[in-house]
Structure 1
Amino acid sequence: MAKIEGIRIQNFRGLKNVTLGKLAYGSDSEPLTDMTVVIGKNGVGKSTLFDVFGFLADALKFGVEEACDLHGRGGFQKIRSQGAVEPIMFEIYYRENENAYPITYIIVINLDDSGRPVVETEYLFQHPKQQIYGRDNAFLILSNGQGTVWKGEGKEIAEDEEGFRVLNFLLEDSSLQQMFKKMAMEPGAEVVELSDNRKLGIATLGALKQHPKISAFREFIEGWYLSYFTPDAARSFPLTGALQHLNSKGDNLANVVQYMEREYRDKFQSILDRIAEKIPGIDKIDTEKTSDGRLLLRFNDKGFQDPFYAQQMSDGTLKVFAYLLLLEDPTPPPFICIEEPENGLYHKLLEALAAEFRIHATGRKGGTQLFITTHQPYFVDALEPNEVWILDKGADGFSTIRRASDDELVKNMVAEGLPLGGLWYSDYLDAR
């Protein structure tokens, strides 16, 4: 399954220049782990970092102009870092699977002459195994909706295009256009011009089977799951009808249970039984179809003969059930983002929940990658230093980030048996 090994964000709200994990060039950090957890005080940018993935998913689906306005973002000028005149930029370094060569995707978003957000630059290229000695293969190079795309395995970038190879994002338009014209002469190249430069090139070209690398990256982003789960939404009365995957708010929880019951009948009850074992006080979980076509989710509480319906269950029980059902999905999403999973949960459940998340991420070959933000030390107690990133604010008011494992004192204290969350609570993870 695909995995993000690193991401760089520039000029997105409080994230003026933030890098997590490994990049192709300019970063010697280790790749992101299967489960990455970001901690920090209130107001340091955890929600902004979470929204980076939401913004990219929205940009792919709707275009960058609409993505700037969705979910209360307030438009380009509001999400561009305060005082910045440079464009917003995202760089993602990922692999299609553990045996594939890494791929870098870069998108630069700016305002056009009429003040509308547009995709100023978009790159997609793959790196060789030995990056120092090998050459990159380009699949997509666009400037303001115009550029070159290569079919199949892409086009090897020549030595004299080193300026592109080291990711010089500030090339003048004339230099880019000269590069495009030269590379467009190569076999397999196709000159393209998008009808709307507010749309991502990977959205349009990724729909064509002759561009498998672009298509795979598009499908990867489309498969991201961002949790905006609310217990009240899970208490709704959906019409009966099987749905394969849990949606972001969780209001189709009963429909997903119905789908799993229908499609995985032989092992469905064992799935529910496993989930019930991990929720305190719950003996059995099933569904009931009403005469008017609604679907009810039922929980049998230990000690009671009659079941309780989702509308009667606590916020914490519904949240844990939703997370565990998400992890039991037979065809899980490749990338799951969860913001503050601890809200509404009993603190002694958090270490167990963190352990379940890790088992899901690492317990199967090519499991789902998890990205989580939290401010709960009990959750962090179950984590390793290389899984935890500490977000803080610099003297200029913009976010800074570092990995807990970069601090030798912290690593040694955890190795001696001290829990990481306890060290955070005791201020040992504060910048020194």
Structure 2
Amino acid sequence: MARLLGIRIKNYKSFADIKLGQTDYGKGEPLPSFVCFIGPNGSGKSTLLDAFGFVSDCLLEGVEGACDKPARGGFERLRTQGSTGPITFEIFFEHDDPDRPIVYKLQIDLIDGVPSAVKETLRQRRRGETRGQPYYFLNLTRGRGRVWAGDRVGAAKDVKASKSVRLADLNQLGLATLGNLADHPRIVALRSYVEQWYLSYFVPDAARELPPSGAQKWLDRKGSNVGNVLQYLERTYSKPNFQKIIDRVTRAIPGLKNIKCEPSADKRLLIRFDEAGYMDPFYQQSMSDGTLKMLAYAVLLSDPQPRPFIGIEEPENGLYIDLIEHLARQFVSHSSNKDRPTQILVTTHSSYFVDALGPDQVWIIRKGIDGHAAATRVADLPNVRELTFQGVPLGAQWYSDHFGTEEIPSLEQLENPKTTRASAQ
């Protein structure tokens, strides 16, 4: 299963140029299986999750549709203010060889006023190579270029397995078009990986709705179909295995004895909650935000066929403080399960949540004096590792300002200190 090693984002909202994890061959540490992003309001945490959502939407809905979603407001609102270059994403991911990551680069820009995919490449080093240019097995500029078939990274001058490509619609990614063809297994693998990204924007009121009865494999982004997913699990797995799933779910929610889905007379779906101390059951309309949220996360983590990548924004909202650290530990445990690997990315404002994590798992995002966001791994801040070794929880260090509160310079400022000083004057 593919795994995200790192990502570089340029010209997307406040991300003029931000790097996370491994963003070059042989340089940088890969992102861990669980990573948490903290920072002040407006620093860019939501932008980070939306960047992943934007790439996924470009694949599934087309470039123009991804730009024009109501929360985004079009290409010009997405491109970093003052920038004239394309919006660029460069994603490093491991496919079948940790020493040879595959890199997907996507550039979005306006062509005749319409958002379009102006550049797409996929590259990978040849086996045994540590230097030189990687092998490009997809290379498109404005929909034209070459693609190499098969799963072998060939010799530098081997063009027999390549063919010319011309896409008819620059609104559709080459990844979407070519990722449907069995001749291109590495492109298929990346398409499948991105298609399975799950970004949670859980809305408790959505979970209180009564959807039509009918099994669905995965949760939607708002969690409104949690009952349908339980129906799918019950239909797909044997009774003993399904009961194990239900047992895991109920253990995650204090005071809950059992959960059951019941179709109503008009074929809508009711979720029945049996709580300790009560003879009569409760249904989703009367359950608290926290209970519904814990239910959605428990169902998400109990999936026998988990998503490879999950992004969750502020999972602590609506939860009692005793549950927050417990939930963080559940996420970490789930992401480290080698039998069912899932990489989880979370944003949070809760020091209780961060208390359950280590310095290598936490990044802080802050804006520089130019308004551009930059990210720093907490483990790289002064004294953090030493304080953690002495037993000081990470959330307590954050609450006590050991992570610093000053504005941090952007990547551009670090590379051009003279320009930074001049602009400050």
TM-score norm. by structure 1 comes to 0.90
Q: Is residue 127–residue 153 contact of structure 2 (8 Å, CA) maintained in 1? A: no
Structure 1 match to 2:283: 309
Offset at 1:270? 2.4
Counterpart pick for 2:233 among 243, 250, 260: 260
CA distance in 2, matches of 1:16, 1:134: 28
Q: Aligned partners of 2:15, 2:54: CA distance in 1, in Å?
A: 14
Structure 2 CA distance for aligned equivalents of residues 210 and 268 of structure 1: 37
Alignment partners' CA distance in 2, 1:148 and 1:67: 25
Which residue matches 1:13?
Answer: 13
Q: 1: CA distance between counterparts of 2:313 and 2:41?
A: 13
Preserved contact between residue 3 and residue 97 of structure 1 (Cα < 8 Å) = no
Q: CA offsets per residue over residues 75-133 of structure 1, 9 Å max, x none?
A: 11110000001111100000124657310000111111x11111111100112465534
**Does the CA contact (< 8 Å) of 2:121 and 2:140 recur in 1?**
yes
- 2:76 corresponding residue in structure 1: 77
State the shift of 1:278 in Å. Answer: 2.1
Look up the SS of the partner of 1:72 in the other structure: coil
Structure 1 counterpart of 2:55 = 56
Aligned to 1:24: 24
The residue identity in structure 2 corresponding to 1:354 is A
Aligned counterparts of 2:328 and 2:356: Cα–Cα separation in 1? 6
Where does 1:169-180 land on structure 2 (aligned, <5 Å)?
none
Retained in 1: the 8 A contact 2:359–2:394? Answer: yes
Secondary structure at the counterpart of residue 70 of structure 1: coil
Which region of structure 1 is more displaced relative to structure 2, 248-257 or 45-54? 248-257
Identity of aligned residues (%): 47
* Equivalent residues in 2 for 1:88-127, closer than 5 Å: 88-97=87-96, 101-112=100-111, 114-127=112-125
Deviation at 1:72, TM superposition (A): 2.1
Q: Does structure 1 conserve the Cα–Cα contact (< 8 Å) formed by 2:248 and 2:298?
A: no
Deviations, residues 278-328 of structure 1 (Å, cap 9, x unaligned):
212212211222222222101111100111111110000000110011000
Cα deviation, 1:329-374, whole Å, max 9, x if unaligned, reads 1111110010110111111111110111111110233511001111
TM-score w.r.t. structure 2 length? 0.92
Residue matched to 2:33: 34
Structure 1 Cα separation of the partners of residues 109 and 392 of structure 2? 47
Question: 1:122·1:140 contact (CA, 8 Å) conserved in 2?
Answer: yes
The 5-angstrom pairing of residues 286-297 of structure 1 reads: 286-297=260-271
Check conservation: 2:248, 2:302, Cα contact below 8 A. no
Q: 2:196 — aligned with what?
A: 223
Moved more, 148-157 or 335-344: 148-157
AA aligned to 2:230 is V
- 1:197 CA displacement: 1.5
- CA distance in 1 between partners of 2:269 and 2:153 (Å): 53
Aligned counterpart, 1:188: 161
TM-aligned CA deviation for residue 416 of structure 1: 1.0
CA separation of 1:62 and 1:389: change in aligned 2, threshold 3 A: same
| Cα separation, 2, equivalents of 1:390 and 1:295 | 41
Q: Is the 8 A contact 1:102 1:128 kept in 2?
A: no
Match of 2:139 in 1: 141
What is aligned with 2:187?
214
- Shift of the alpha carbon at 1:186? 1.7
* Structure 2 portions without partners, runs of 5+: 407-425
SS in structure 1 of the partner of residue 69 of structure 2: helix
Whether the 8 Å contact between 1:273 and 1:285 is mirrored in structure 2 is no
Question: For 1:360-415, what per-residue CA distance to the aligned partner results, in whole angstroms no more than 9, with x for missing partners?
Answer: 11023351100111111100000111010100010111101110111240011111
Query: In the superposition, relative to structure 1, how do residues 195 and 39 fare at CA in structure 2: closer, same or farther (>3 Å)?
Result: same
The residue type paired with residue 16 of structure 1 is A
Summarize deviations over 1:21-55 as a string: whole Å, max 9, x none. 00234x83210000111100001011111100110
Letter in 2 for 1:24: D
**Aligned-pair CA distance for 1:424:** 0.7
Larger displacement relative to structure 2 (138-147 or 293-302): 293-302
For 1:207, what is the secondary structure of its paired residue? coil
2:214 partner letter: G
The answer on whether the counterparts of 2:126 and 2:153 sit within 8 Å (CA) in structure 1 is no
Give, as a single letter, the amino acid of the residue that structure 2 aligns with 1:226.
L
Cα RMSD (Å): 1.7
Secondary structure of 1:402's match? strand
Q: Is the 8 A contact 1:139 1:154 kept in 2?
A: no
Most deviating of 196-205 and 143-152: 196-205
CA spacing shift, 1:319–1:99, aligned 2, 3 Å? same
Distance 1:422 1:337 in 2: 24
Alignment match, 1:359: 333
Once the two structures are superposed, the pairs formed by residues 248-287 of structure 1 within 5 Å of their partners are 248-264=221-237, 265-287=239-261
1:123 alignment partner, SS class: strand
Counterpart of 1:123 in structure 2: which amino acid?
T
| Amino acid of the structure 1 residue aligned with 2:365 | L
When residues 99 and 282 of structure 1 are mapped into structure 2, their CA distance, relative to the original with a 3 A threshold, is same
* CA shift digits 1:175-208 (9 cap, x unpaired): xxxxxxxx7x821110010001221111001100
Shift in CA distance, 367/225, structure 1 to aligned 2, threshold 3 Å: same
**2:293 aligns to what?**
319
Q: Which runs of 5+ in 1 are unaligned?
A: 159-182
Q: Aligned to 2:402, what secondary structure does the other structure show?
A: coil
Q: Which letter maps to 1:95?
A: E
**Residue 421 (structure 1) aligned with residue 395 (structure 2):** yes
The answer to whether the 8 Å contact 2:58/2:173 transfers is yes
Q: Does 1:328 align with 2:324?
A: no
Equivalence for 2:209: 236
Read off the aligned partner of 1:20 and give its amino acid letter.
L
